[in-house]
Amino acid sequence: MGRGRAPCCDKTKVKKGPWSPAEDLCLTTFIQNHGHTNWRALPKQAGLLRCGKSCRLRWINYLRPDVKRGNFTPQEEQTIINLHNSIGNKWSKIASYFPGRTDNEIKNVWNTHLKKRLIMSNKNEALLASPSCTSSSITSSGNHNMEKSLLNDDQGETQEPEIMNWIEKPEFPKLKSTHPNDQAKQAFSSDSPTSSYTSNETSEFSKSEVGIPDNGKIEIPLESDIDFGELFDSLDWNQDSNPEEKPDGGIECSKWFGFLENELGLTCDMDNLAKDQNIVPNLEPEFSPGLDYFPIWPCSPQNLGI
């Protein structure tokens, strides 16, 4: 074989492109039941015709229950600019300062909004600057690194932020602040049209039922790397069990799961199911989650001959 590593999977046998709701549900359910100890093996175990990497990306960037979607606030945007100024294209590091935000999302925001905006503002500054203006004055203004990072965007050189002078870490939680004004800004409300959590039109469970405050904001614990697999493994998903006897966490997770289905637009005659089973959907251990829900979905594993 020549140089390079073997592909992570057989590219001819994996599906590519946008994920279908059925695939989302399949992946979500599998991870909640079994965790994700091995991404490479996960697609096969879950019955998905996807590359393990693709599953990981989909989970991290979209399906994780703690992922925060919706527009970035001006404060968040400014923080991204500052962080990028300090550490460059270290998107994962930048994302670590934004609970619930993903590196991919921040990267997209930078590439589509902030980069252009900064270039424009730099141009304006250059136009406004007098001929006698020295480069050192620019440096002292704090724009030097920013300018450098704009010019050398792909260098990826890192300067470890000296714990970032401009950043007062203790304040960072204000991105998920409990201050009402900040919460109002951050709430996945009307100004967050893409939020996965905002819709309540079709939801059969109210936000309060699934643990979402009225303002639409989900409080995510700082220890956001909860092992949802363990969490769900601890639940009793057996059909016979009485939902009333499930621990609170089980019910809450089940509510969330139902909420996810709604948000994905996957509800089909689940009303009775929810009523009959006190909201907890029945999931068979072998599980073919989406299959019963989406008998006609074109991309469902069922239709692909699994």
Which residues contact DNA by CB under 7 A?
4-8, 11, 15-19, 36-41, 50-54, 56-58, 61-62, 69, 71, 89-93, 103-105, 107-109, 111-113, 153-154, 156, 194
Candidates 182, 173, 174, 197; CA nearest to 69 is 197
**Least distance between DNA and beta carbon 152 (Å):** 9
Candidates 47, 60, 36, 58; CA nearest to 14 is 47
**Least distance between DNA and beta carbon 116 (Å):** 7
Backbone angles phi, psi at 132, to 5 degrees: -80, -5
| CA gap 106, 92 in Å, rounded | 9
**Least distance between DNA and beta carbon 6 (Å):** 6
Answer for the pair 104, 91: CB distance below 8 angstroms, yes or no.
Answer: yes
**Least distance between DNA and beta carbon 7 (Å):** 7
**Least distance between DNA and beta carbon 239 (Å):** 31
Candidates 225, 231, 276, 273; CA nearest to 253 is 231
**Least distance between DNA and beta carbon 72 (Å):** 9
Token look-up 């006897």 returns 245
> Is the CB of 155 or the CB of 178 nearer to DNA?
155
> Is the CB of 115 or the CB of 174 nearer to DNA?
115
| CA gap 96, 216 in Å, rounded | 22
> Is the CB of 159 or the CB of 206 nearer to DNA?
159
> Is the CB of 102 or the CB of 203 nearer to DNA?
102
> Is the CB of 4 or the CB of 305 nearer to DNA?
4
**Least distance between DNA and beta carbon 129 (Å):** 26
Candidates 172, 243, 258, 163; CA nearest to 209 is 258
Q: Which two tokens stand for residue 40?
A: 């490479």
> Is the CB of 91 or the CB of 98 nearer to DNA?
91
Candidates 140, 159, 183; CA nearest to 89 is 159
> Is the CB of 34 or the CB of 93 nearer to DNA?
93
| CA gap 222, 269 in Å, rounded | 36
Helix (H, G, I), strand (E, B) or coil at 191: coil
**What 8-state DSSP symbol labels residue 170?**
G
| CA gap 261, 268 in Å, rounded | 10
